[in-house]
Amino acid sequence: MKHLLTPCLIKLGLLLLCTTQLVHADSREHEELKRSIIKIYTTAAAPDFFNPWALLNAKQLSGSGAVIEGRQILTNAHVIANGSFIQVQRHGDAQKFRARVKFVSHDADLALLTVDDENFFDDTRPLTMGKLPDLQEEVTVYGYPMGGKSLSITRGVLSRVEHQYYAHAESYLMAGQIDAAINPGNSGGPVISDGRIVGVAMQSNQSQGAENLGYFVPPSVIEHVLKDAEDGVEQGFPELGAVTQSLESPSMKKAAGLSADQEGALVVRVFEDAPASNVLQPGDVLLQVDGFDVAADRTIEWRENQRTNYHYAVDQYHVGDRLPVRIARNGEVRDVEITLAQTPTSRSLVQGEKFDQRPRYYIYGGVVFVPLNMNLIKRWGGNWHSKAPIEYLYARNQWSSPEKQELVVALKVLPAPVNLGYHDWKNWIIESVNGEKIRDFGQFAQLMESNEDNYVDLRDDAGYRMVLDADAAMEQQSAILQTYQIPQPHSQGLFSTLANREAGVDPEQQHLQ
């Protein structure tokens, strides 16, 4: 009996030894992973779009990030947006290191940071990218949420993957949803599966009744940004250059020339300055995009039994790539290719929200003029949907055109003798200067600056007018700026940029005036 027990005890001892070694190895690997999770401290001073020559009070923000290949840190763009001073700190360390932004994609809410002090990356292991897990698989979120200084690790289940609006820049891209809250400070932290990054924690669902719902940037979006960052020049996600609507109405489907077994998305507008204008026209039906069949609700099956908007197929490409598309025109099926172009600043008359940029403004006769954009609208706070002027909100639904690319607003009047009678005018959208239609803010400023008439006559689309004496405006300009403590009558570089554009000179090669 004694001889029989000995081999069993030996085997049991070996099994315990192997188990102990595996536990130690797993623990060591987990500690190495935690060492690569970074806390980010940002001092951010955003511009004040109500007073565009000034900054709002600086705020201290924090977020999370992860070390990846190339001695860089992957995080959210909103963690470092408008940042004037950025520091990073490793897990378990007290020392903070100065960091700088290497690349940023506000549309994807992603940024890459680097640290000039190479000692920062000692004892850190670059995390690699993994594939998006299947639905209902567990993932782990690492980060430094508010309420403490130490690393937090939470687990959740991947419950949904589809296109969502990213809160940071209101872009529309693929996002993953997990049943774990993404709290302030967690932003930018990696979502991990099998030791690899499968997402970047981005935002939480603040809808009434929603509990513990968080969203993350998935691998397809991250990899697109990393590829875009290789040359250091951001081109972003390309645009198809067309607007579509669902084709679920049987009558509309029949009118478009489709058979009963055909589905697709109806093209309702093609932008004239987009490459798609050479290929598509209103009334066409998108049947396939990059080989994916487009359903009547404009979705494609990107993975078995999982659907999302057909823009997913477009988002896999880069600027300059040729996208294969199958269309139906008057019932005739055609296979075509569209050369994808860089998405313009905005297709709306209201420019999208921008970051890390100073506002444009122009002051004439004590009237402060600015372009209408989402930065200005959001200055009304979290309830801007109901508090911002109705004219501003209505303009968001209007498309721009080559003749009218953005709107100009008389934001407010700085009371002075030259502008008597207009002291209470504010948030006024103007259409013309001395009878000439306004195309964009740069052209507007040039019209004002080059005026040789005795008066400047401003009008809106309803015919209301503001008339200013040109000589009085010039004579009182210096006193108005001094009274209201405004350093310059216009934003830095406004006219040098215009002059360089007309001369064909790269503004980056010139000093801003």
The architecture CATH gives domain 30-237: Beta Barrel (2.40)
Closest CA to 404 of 372, 363, 356: 372
Query: Please, are residues 408 and 372 in contact by the beta-carbon 8 Å criterion?
Result: yes
Q: HSE of 494 in the Cβ direction (CA atoms, 13 Å)?
A: 25
For residue 389 the two structure tokens come to: 């002027």
Inter-helix orientation angle 494-503/441-449, to 10°: 100
Closest CA to 243 of 284, 208, 211: 284
Residue type, 171: S
Cα dihedral value 391, 392, 396, 399, nearest 10: 70
Residue 205 clears pLDDT 90, i.e. is over it: no
For residue 118, the model assigns a pLDDT of 84
The SS3 assignment for 268 reads strand
For residue 512, the model assigns a pLDDT of 32
Residue 298 clears pLDDT 80, i.e. is over it: yes
Residues marked active site are found at: 78, 109, 187
Residue 455 clears pLDDT 70, i.e. is over it: yes
The CATH classification number of 362-509 equals: 3.20.190.20
Residue type, 200: V
Residue 310 clears pLDDT 60, i.e. is over it: yes
Query: Please, are residues 466 and 432 in contact by the beta-carbon 8 Å criterion?
Result: no
For residue 500, the model assigns a pLDDT of 47
Residue type, 206: Q
Instruction: Give the span between the Cα atoms of 380 and 368, in whole angstroms.
Output: 18
Mean pLDDT of the chain: 91
Query: Please, are residues 164 and 151 in contact by the beta-carbon 8 Å criterion?
Result: no
The SS3 assignment for 44 reads strand
Query: Please, are residues 225 and 102 in contact by the beta-carbon 8 Å criterion?
Result: no
Going by pLDDT thresholds of 50, 70 and 90, the confidence category of residue 153 is very high
Q: Which residue has the tokens 């609700």?
A: 297
For residue 25, the model assigns a pLDDT of 44
For residue 509, the model assigns a pLDDT of 38
For residue 420, the model assigns a pLDDT of 98
Residue 128: exposure state from Cβ atoms within 10 A (0-12, 13-18, ≥19): exposed
Of these ranges, 19-28, 175-184, 266-275, 411-420, the one predicted with the greatest mean pLDDT is 411-420
The phi, psi pair for 126, rounded to 5°, reads -60, 130
Instruction: Give the span between the Cα atoms of 443 and 446, in whole angstroms.
Output: 5
Q: How far is CA 492 from the centre of its chain?
A: 24
Cα dihedral value 502, 505, 508, 510, nearest 10: -90
Residue 170 clears pLDDT 70, i.e. is over it: yes
For residue 350, the model assigns a pLDDT of 96
For residue 495, the model assigns a pLDDT of 83
Instruction: Give the span between the Cα atoms of 246 and 253, in whole angstroms.
Output: 10
Going by pLDDT thresholds of 50, 70 and 90, the confidence category of residue 123 is confident
DSSP H helical segments within 216-310, as ranges? Answer: 219-228, 250-255
Query: Please, are residues 38 and 73 in contact by the beta-carbon 8 Å criterion?
Result: yes
User: Per-residue pLDDT tens for 478-513?
Assistant: 999 999 999 999 999 898 755 444 444 444 333 333
For residue 458, the model assigns a pLDDT of 98
Own/partner pairs, 457-465, CB within 8 angstroms, 24+ separation: 457/433, 458/410, 458/430, 458/432, 458/433, 459/430, 459/431, 459/432, 460/428, 460/429, 460/430, 460/431, 461/429, 461/431, 464/428
What is the pLDDT averaged over residues 13-24?
50
Query: Topology of 238-342 in CATH?
Result: Pdz3 Domain (2.30.42)
Residue 414 clears pLDDT 60, i.e. is over it: yes
What is the pLDDT averaged over residues 292-313?
97
For residue 11, the model assigns a pLDDT of 61
What is the pLDDT averaged over residues 43-49?
96
What is the pLDDT averaged over residues 59-81?
97
For residue 502, the model assigns a pLDDT of 45
The SS3 assignment for 65 reads strand
Domain-by-domain residue ranges, the chain?
30-237, 238-342, 362-509
For residue 29 the two structure tokens come to: 């690997």
In percent, how much of the chain has pLDDT > 70? 90
The residue ranges of DSSP E strands in 80-219, in sequence order, are 83-90, 97-105, 110-114, 138-143, 152-165, 172-178, 190-193, 196-204, 214-217
For residue 481, the model assigns a pLDDT of 98
**DSSP helix, strand, coil percent of the chain (3-state; round to 5):** 25, 35, 40
Going by pLDDT thresholds of 50, 70 and 90, the confidence category of residue 184 is confident
Closest CA to 482 of 416, 388, 391, 408: 416
The phi, psi pair for 27, rounded to 5°, reads -65, -40
Q: CA geometry: angle at 360 spanning 100 and 43, to 5°?
A: 30
What is the pLDDT averaged over residues 385-402?
95
Residue 364 clears pLDDT 50, i.e. is over it: yes
What is the pLDDT averaged over residues 391-397?
96
For residue 6, the model assigns a pLDDT of 62
Closest CA to 266 of 229, 297, 301: 297
For residue 24, the model assigns a pLDDT of 45
> Could you tell me which residues come within 8 angstroms of residue 317 by beta carbon, excluding any fewer than 6 positions away?
238, 290, 323, 340
> Could you tell me which residues come within 8 angstroms of residue 477 by beta carbon, excluding any fewer than 6 positions away?
363, 364, 365, 489
For residue 183, the model assigns a pLDDT of 81
For residue 434 the two structure tokens come to: 């001395």
What is the pLDDT averaged over residues 399-424?
96
User: Per-residue pLDDT tens for 206-220?
Assistant: 665 555 789 999 999
For residue 244, the model assigns a pLDDT of 97
